[in-house]
Amino acid sequence: MSYYYYTPSQLVFAKDMILRTTMEANVELARRRREVAINQNNERENKKRIAHNYKKGDWVLILSRHLDPKLQLHPGPFKVLSYEQSSGTLYIQRKHYVEPINIRNVRPYYGPKKRKSQLH
């Protein structure tokens, strides 16, 4: 069922395309329902987020995207070289290059830090 309770054709043409009847859509009601649905979706997504302010020198793991969450092994840890808060981009040191990565694809690493000789 739609969040709006109206089909797109009812909103655009003010007609029901199946029954061929005219109707007047309450656009304000549809907008409010859509806003409520967006807010509920945001709350559901934000429940899983870890509040963390990244800074230079932090360590992160890159999230792997396997089907079975029990089998996930996250690559890392990688050192954060810089963080652009406006775009949500971290720059991490990988082997011999710097990789930009979005904060949605990483999580903070709290384990023992690696020595320089052990870095990837």
**pLDDT tens figures, 54-67:** 999 999 988 887 66
Bridge partners (DSSP) of residue 107 are: 61
In a domain, 3, yes or no: no
> Which pTM was predicted?
0.55
Pair 69, 111 in one domain: yes
Pair 73, 105 in one domain: yes
Place of tokens 């830090």: 113
Domain tally for the chain? 2
Pair 106, 63 in one domain: yes
pLDDT band with cut points at 50, 70 and 90 for residue 39: very high
pLDDT at 80: 93
67-81 pLDDT, tens digit per residue, is 666 666 778 899 999
Pair 18, 65 in one domain: no
Q: What is the DSSP string of 83-102?
A: EETTTTEEEEEETTEEEEEE
In a domain, 76, yes or no: yes
How many angstroms separate the CA atoms of 44 and 36, rounded?
Answer: 12
3-class state of residue 15 by DSSP: strand
In a domain, 52, yes or no: no
Residue 39, token pair as written in the block: 């807010």
In a domain, 25, yes or no: yes
Query: Domain range for residue 73?
Result: 59-118
Report which residue type is found at 61. Answer: L
